[in-house]
Structures are given as C-alpha cells and as structure tokens.
Amino acid sequence: SDLNRVTVGESSTATETDTNVSNSSLTAELPFEIRYPEDNRSAQARKDYKQAVMRASPETLIIDYNSKGENSVKNNLLFYTQYPTAFYKTLCQTYPNNNKRGISRGRQISVLGEKDTDSVMLTFNVYHNGTIMVQGSESSLDQFALCFHTLKQQTEAEKQEPEPATLQSAPSHTEPDSAPSPTDCPPVSQKLSSNIKTLKECL
C-alpha cells in the first residue's frame, strides 16, 4: 500500500500531509479520525497505514471507529509515544483502583468503578512498540480525550530516554514466545502526586 501520504480526518480540522508531518500542524487535543485511502482495503494495509499516521504525529489521539452498516461506533482511542513506560506509570498512579496484567507485547491496566469494583470503566493496553490503546464506552473515551492534554503534562515528569522498542518497526506477523509479567505500579513521585487531584477532577 502507498503510505507516502497520510490523510487525517477530523473530529477537528486536518488536511492531507506527508508522514513526516511535524507536531505543530496537529496541535489540537481533539482526537483525529483516520481516513484510509481507497486502495487500503485489507486489514493489514489499514493497520500499517494507522501505524504510519500515529508515528507521524506522536502523542496525538487517534479515533478508531468500527463501522456497522451506515453507522460508525467509536471503538477505541490510540496514540504513539516513545515513552510507553512513563505513560504506564502515570496511568496506574492516576487510576489506583485498577487491575494490571501482562498481555502479548505489552501491559494492560483495567480501571475499575469506585463503587462497583466488578465494572471496568476504561482499559489501557500499553504496548512495547509505543502504541497505547484506550478502550471503553463512548462517554468514557470522550472524557478521557478531554483530559489527555493534562495527562501528557503529568507524564513529562516521568520521561527518561526514548525506549528502543518504540524506535523500531516491529514485524507485523510475528508474536513473542510468551507474554510478559505484569509490572507493579511504582511509588507516586512527589511532583506527580501533587497534580493527580487536578487530573482526576477533570475526569
């Protein structure tokens, strides 16, 4: 498939750009919908195209829709980062009422309801290649999108060096021998702890 051009369609305003688009051209925090070229018909071609879009605009939310007839349902939110561990720390510190487990090629955080602990409000799949997927109801995804900018600000305190796995294009059809073990959330840093209340109020 031709990945030299990327069309990012709106939820806000976007235009057709090259895959080396700079962050400054996609500064809005509202999620963007990917509009696939007509020749991207296979699931693998769309997956590769989606990865190209996310890597062109790191830490920018992308809406993933599931089409049902003439209707489109918001399926999840996605973004790419070179600092998945930093985001993992911020997410599990911000949502302490959670379950954590290892998944193929990454880690998962399931955010539980405050009163109904059997109810999963949001699920974060944090992959080693830098892709982070957010799953939940449309209303939960909309609330998360509104607070994404604040979440990114909190994550800055946790960032160190870019993680090597995020700088490589992993083979699309290969699977690891086994899923990694879940990683416990580290202690809340003093700087991040002072700002968690602000993010929770936004949520």
CA angle 113, 119, 121 (to 5 degrees): 60
Structure confidence by residue, pLDDT tens digits, 64-97: 877 655 677 788 999 999 999 999 999 989 889 9
* Torsion angle of the four alpha carbons 39, 40, 41, 47, in this order, in degrees rounded to the nearest 10: 170
pLDDT > 70: percent of the chain: 67
pLDDT at 5: 34
pLDDT at 35: 81
Structure tokens at 143: 């609330």
Q: How far is CA 140 from the centre of its chain?
A: 14
* Cβ-proximal residues to 93 (8 Å cutoff; 6+ apart), any chain: 185, 186, 188, 192, 193, 196
Indicate the length of the chain as a whole number: 203
pLDDT at 202: 53
Least confident range from 43-47, 140-144, 150-154, 180-184: namely 180-184
pLDDT at 190: 47
Contact yes or no for 1/39 (Cβ under 8 A): yes
Contact yes or no for 172/48 (Cβ under 8 A): yes
Instruction: Kindly give the pairing relationship between strand 16-18 and strand 5-10.
Output: antiparallel
Which helix (DSSP H) or strand (DSSP E) does residue 5 occupy?
A: strand 5-10
The radius of gyration of the chain's CA atoms, rounded to the nearest angstrom, is 17
d(C-alpha 85, C-alpha 47), whole Å: 23
With both helix axes pointing from N to C terminus, report the angle between 138-155 and 190-202 in degrees, rounded to the nearest 10: 150
pLDDT at 135: 95
